[in-house]
Structure 1
Amino acid sequence: MFDAATTTLSSKGQVVIPEAIRERLGLKTGAQFVVVADRDVVILKVLEPPALSEFTALTAQARRAAKAA
């Protein structure tokens, strides 16, 4: 589903993400984003922390690499 809305850049460089979009994406206060810009296009990508299971796998891989080194 594609939502479109308009918003305004504040004098402090802040942009409000419209409520309907925040609700649909489940965005909460403190959400972090990667911001990508190309000419006149700005993309916000939500940063999500990895699941604990992913972190455990990464830690195990790092330990194996460290042991091998």
Structure 2
Amino acid sequence: MKIETTKMSSRGQVVIPQNVRKQINADEGTIFLVMASKGTLILKKVGIPSRETLINQLGKIAEEGEKRAKKKGIKESDVPDILYKLRKSKR
């Protein structure tokens, strides 16, 4: 690991040195989480999942929801009424 320095602009922008960008495979548009604590700043590169990955994850969430609904005896036809009551209670 090599340590580099950078300077913040008057607009709060910081340039990530080129060799660091290459090392982490970051280019224009790369998204980072920014965390600060006790004088330390951490940038964490965030990977954006592919369309296939998102569809797969949403499918798993839907399956889990169906399992939970089945355990509780909730039918698909019950959902509109449940949502109506939930929304009404939050007003």
* TM-score, scaled relative to structure 2: 0.65
- Structure with greater proportional strand content: 1
Q: What is the identity, as a one-letter code, of the residue corresponding to 1:35?
A: V
Structure 1: unaligned runs, 5 residues or longer: none
The Cα offsets for residues 18-69 of structure 1, whole Å up to 9 and x where unpaired, read as 0111111111101110000001100000010124554343122211133233
Identity of aligned residues (%): 29
After the TM superposition, which segments of 4 or more aligned residues of structure 1 sit over 3 Å from their partners? 51-54
- Structure 2, gaps ≥5 residues long: 70-91
Question: In the alignment, which residue of structure 1 is the partner of 2:21?
Answer: 22
Q: Which structure shows the bigger proportion of residues in helix conformation? A: 2
Question: Highest CA radius of gyration, 1 or 2?
Answer: 2
How many equivalent pairs are there?
68
Within 5 Å, which residues of 2 pair with 1:1-69?
2-52=1-51, 54-68=53-67, 69=69
Secondary structure at the aligned position of 2:35 is classed as strand
CA distance in 2, matches of 1:31, 1:41: 21
Tell me the TM-score normalized by structure 1: 0.82
Q: Which of the pair has the greater relative contact order for Cα pairs under 8 Å at 6+ separation?
A: 1
CA RMSD after TM alignment: 1.7
Where 1:44 maps in the other structure, the secondary structure is strand
